[in-house]
Structure 1
Amino acid sequence: MTLSLPEIHFRPLDGNDADIFSVWLSDPEVTRFSLSSFQFPQSKVDISQWLNTINGSKSNVSFGITLGETGALIGYAGIASISSLNRCGEYFIMIGSKEHWGRGIGSQVTKKVVEYGFETLGLHRIELTAFANNPGAIKAYENAGFQHEGVKRESGFRQGKFFDKVQMGIIVHDWLTLKES
């Protein structure tokens, strides 16, 4: 049986998305593997201000993730720390709506953002780190062509313990080879 994925769309984020982000950021299960700044409570005003600023930088691109069937915002993804000199950046994703976890959406979003990074931004390399105890994310990144490059030992602190993070990356020529196959 083949699972049909919904059509994924991207849209800009803004302060009007603060309500849904507030719900996501107050759920420890959603933020467990996310940015360190998401580990602490934030007001809707703080979230709204952050959302109003994330699209105005040359070193970061962010996309709201919506699905064709509903148009509802289910998460966000993008590339941060973009270096125009080194032509590289760091991929990130958060699927905030848990009902969409485990459906292959993360892999599809990752592929689309990587394509944007290489084709539109002209990057040479995109990298990321993932908590080693987050096999779903690691699988999504592998499905999108990211390769394991190493382990950052005990580099993430969650739930009172340190966890390893997996360093992964994809180079434009590897992506082009995948795209052609």
Structure 2
Amino acid sequence: MLFSGQLVNLRAFRDEDIKPSVDFMNDMEIILNLDDDAPMPQSYETQKEWFEEMRKNKKSYKDFFWAIETKDAKFIGGCGVNRMDGKNRLAQVGIFIGNQDYLGKGYGTDAMKVLLEFLFEEYNVNKVKLLVFDYNKRAIKSYEKCGFQTEAIYRDSVFRYGKYQDMRSMAILKEEYFNR
């Protein structure tokens, strides 16, 4: 399955993505912006198991994780749905650009726009939300470009950089998406 934006394509993860994924997941600048659910550091075996689990578990939310690649087919990150609430048509998403050469150049914003298009237009969700560290100003700016609004600040939620950090909850509604 392939979804396209102006700068990126979203596609299924491939075996050749495992090695760069391990590199991304062991880059301190990248992992300090990820949530605590991912085990750190990552080994090749751990990442390979995650890829295999995604392929096996086709009936769960794991169907909604994609590799982000540039238009010239360079794998640079991943995005997808972390939690899906079908009853309330609510999706919680996550995204990362792991290749630092592509940070701050619109690739993450474009990938999020493609993900939103899929969720609102194809999957018919009513709301898409995410959590972001309040210190991650680049990501917040990107999400705002996509139409996300801040709903809440969770104070002292996660211990990073030697102190407790605030988390920001952001969301966009279907109506807001279609009225942009």
Could you state the TM-score of these two structures normalised by the residue count of structure 2?
A: 0.90
CA-CA distance at 1:21 after TM superposition:
0.8
Q: State the alpha-carbon separation in 1 of the partners of residues 54 and 95 from structure 2.
A: 14
CA-CA distance at 1:136 after TM superposition:
0.3
CA-CA distance at 1:15 after TM superposition:
4.0
Q: State the alpha-carbon separation in 1 of the partners of residues 30 and 6 from structure 2.
A: 21
User: Could you say what secondary structure the match of 2:88 adopts?
Assistant: coil
Alignment partner of 1:97 is 2:130:
no
CA-CA distance at 1:6 after TM superposition:
6.2
Aligned position for 1:74: 76
Task: Tell me, yes or no, if the aligned pair for 1:152 and 1:164 is still in contact at 8 Å.
Answer: yes
CA-CA distance at 1:111 after TM superposition:
1.0
> What stretches of structure 2 of length at least 5 have no aligned partner?
none
Q: Structure 2 matches for 1:1-181, cutoff 5 A?
A: 7-38=7-38, 40-54=40-54, 56-60=58-62, 61-69=64-72, 71-178=73-180
Quick one: structure 1 residues 41 and 132, their matched pair in 2 at CA, closer, same or farther if it must change by over 3 Å?
same
CA-CA distance at 1:143 after TM superposition:
0.2
Stretch of structure 1 that moved more, 39-48 or 161-170:
39-48
User: Could you say what secondary structure the match of 1:36 adopts?
Assistant: coil
Task: Tell me, yes or no, if the aligned pair for 1:59 and 1:83 is still in contact at 8 Å.
Answer: no
Q: State the alpha-carbon separation in 2 of the partners of residues 144 and 15 from structure 1.
A: 30
CA-CA distance at 1:57 after TM superposition:
4.0
Task: Tell me, yes or no, if the aligned pair for 2:6 and 2:110 is still in contact at 8 Å.
Answer: no
CA-CA distance at 1:129 after TM superposition:
0.9
CA-CA distance at 1:50 after TM superposition:
0.5
Could you state the TM-score of these two structures normalised by the residue count of structure 1?
A: 0.89
How many matched pairs? 173
Q: State the alpha-carbon separation in 2 of the partners of residues 8 and 165 from structure 1.
A: 27
Amino acid at match of 1:66: E
CA-CA distance at 1:54 after TM superposition:
2.8
Quick one: structure 1 residues 139 and 57, their matched pair in 2 at CA, closer, same or farther if it must change by over 3 Å?
farther
Task: Tell me, yes or no, if the aligned pair for 1:65 and 1:75 is still in contact at 8 Å.
Answer: yes
Stretch of structure 1 that moved more, 49-58 or 87-96:
49-58
CA-CA distance at 1:52 after TM superposition:
2.1
Q: Which runs of 4+ in 1 moved over 3 A?
A: none
Task: Tell me, yes or no, if the aligned pair for 1:64 and 1:76 is still in contact at 8 Å.
Answer: yes
